[in-house]
Amino acid sequence: MALRQKLNLKFAQRLILTPKMRQALYILQLPLMELKRFLQQKTIENPLLEEAGDYQENDQLQSGELTDNILQNAQQTSQEYFDSDNDNTSYGQEIQKKQNFKETLARYTPSLQEHLLQQLSLSGCAGSVYKTGEFIIGNIDENGYRRCSQEEIQEVLTVSKTDTGRALKLIHSFDPPGVGAQNLKECLLIQLKLKNKENSLAAKIVRNYLTDLEKKKYDRLGRAFKVSPEKIEEAVREIASLEPKPGRLFGSCANRYIKPDIILQKQKEKYEIILNDEELPTLQLSSRYRKLLQDEKVSKNVKRYLKKRLHSAVWLIKTVAQRQSTLLKLARFLVEAQRDFLDKGERYLLPLSVERIAGSIKRNKSTVSRLIANKYIQTPFGIFALREFLSQGIKSKEGKVISTKNIKAQIEDLISAENPQHPLTDEKIAQILKERNIPLARRTCAKYREQLKILPAGLRKRSFKRP
């Protein structure tokens, strides 16, 4: 059979996102501070948009001067608003440079290397010791560990073993305690030395029996040092109080500055929901440029440009209002649905899905997902991400759906109340939950335990009771 090409006509329906729809979806998913910068950028780009109460120097400009400004603006724009895809994805370099000073302070935190270099400069050392110290600090990772050996330092810098040792000793005295160590054992020993406990039982355990300590073989430790279980327990508590990753106290990035989109206030027995829109600029249409549309002296090209900008300005104002209205409706539903969670705590969080929210507030699932993303609510009990109000669930034998967070809380309670000499296995925990009409498989129980960062039963076992 011969192959041949031919043309066929085919009718099909497809959903195509217009630039207006793209912008609406983009605005919907923006958190508060990013939306603020986005709107400020739009007031710069669009002459028809201005902030309420914003009196600019060009308020007194005559019609001819406004027209010249418009023509100049139109010539600088390579593409019109509705033909530009990048219009929905950039804030503008100028607005990014005009960060609020308080926000900049809140976001900044010194890195571990900056913190160490500052201490090095104040230490009074000089010459090859200072140079070696700088090199060592540059080779310390985010956890605070040194990623080069003493021999490598000497070879790269061609410095003596004495200077390298002095630089290392100096850095080991810096804050945070334990920084600059090459492994966990050295890190813990440095911290114990700074506490003047380098010859203590805890230091001897770390130096010679760290593997047995990790496996919780306390009986072997007691026999090795010929001391009572209470002494071993005291040493273990001393070791547990040390920081295994000193660098993580600084983190690998700057602090995030969170501004909640919603503020929840409790008035007696009722919750009052307030949209945090004080941070957002109040947009309005410029009366100066709107008058130009009615001016017969203005050219058709200018009026055509103004009409396009007017339509985009009106659409933007409506889109922001729609975002705020939908966000308020979402907040009301979440507060009503999760009232027990707000009043009593996390274990009372009810199973709630995006599908259920979408059906309740009569919006599409994708719209709800965008709306919830990167949004926060300030409550009398702290700031929560809206995502935390959602939870999956497991249906009990009674037909009641129990949230996974509730189940995790029960697992945590069971483990905290267990006998340390006979810890509960995952199978035993699953059996107890089944007796409570919660059908949970052992593997699921193990998964929840790992998410809670709780060790398995074998590593939780203690051969003696706590004093």
Secondary structure of residue 425 in the 3-state scheme: coil
Same domain, 242 and 136: yes
Q: Report yes or no on 57 lying in a domain.
A: no
Whether the predicted pLDDT of 286 surpasses 60: yes
- 306 and 416 fall within a common domain: no
The DSSP element (H or E) to which 273 belongs, if any, is: strand 270-275
Residue 172 belongs to domain spanning:
112-249
Q: Are residues 212 and 273 in the same domain?
A: no
Q: How far is CA 391 from the centre of its chain?
A: 19
Measured CA to CA, the distance from residue 336 to residue 339 in angstroms comes to 5
30/91 same-domain check: yes
Strands (E) across 34-110 are located at: 49-51
Q: Are residues 383 and 420 in the same domain?
A: no
| Helices and strands (H, E) in the chain, number of each type | 23, 8
Last residue of a domain, one of 204, 220, 249: 249
Q: State residue 178 phi and psi, 5-degree precision.
A: 95, -5
* Strands of the sheet with 376-379, listed across from one edge: 270-275, 262-267, 376-379, 382-385
399 and 273 inside one domain: no
Q: Does 66 fall in a domain?
A: no
CB-based contacts of 397, cutoff 8 Å, min separation 6: 437, 439
pLDDT at position 300: 83
One domain, residues 298 and 357: yes
- Tens of pLDDT, residues 33-77: 889 999 999 988 888 888 876 544 444 445 445 555 554 554 444
C-alpha 185/C-alpha 190 separation (Å) is: 9
Same-domain status, 379 and 290: yes
Residue 178 Ramachandran class (φ > 0 left, ψ -120 to 50 alpha, else beta):
left
Percent of the chain whose pLDDT exceeds 90: 22
The answer to whether the beta carbons of residues 188 and 242 sit under 8 Å apart is yes
Answer yes or no: is pLDDT of 235 > 70: yes
Q: Are residues 285 and 171 part of one domain?
A: no
Residues 118 and 190 in one domain: yes
Residues 179 and 216 in one domain: yes
Per the confidence metrics, is the pTM higher than 0.85? no
CATH code of the domain in which 424 resides: 1.10.10.60
Q: CA quadruple 172, 175, 177, 183: dihedral positive or negative? A: negative
Angle (nearest 5°) at CA 353 between 276 and 414: 100
Same domain, yes or no, for 182 and 91?
A: no
Summary mean pLDDT of the chain: 81
The bridge status of strand 262-267 relative to strand 270-275 is antiparallel
Provide the domain count of the chain.
Answer: 3
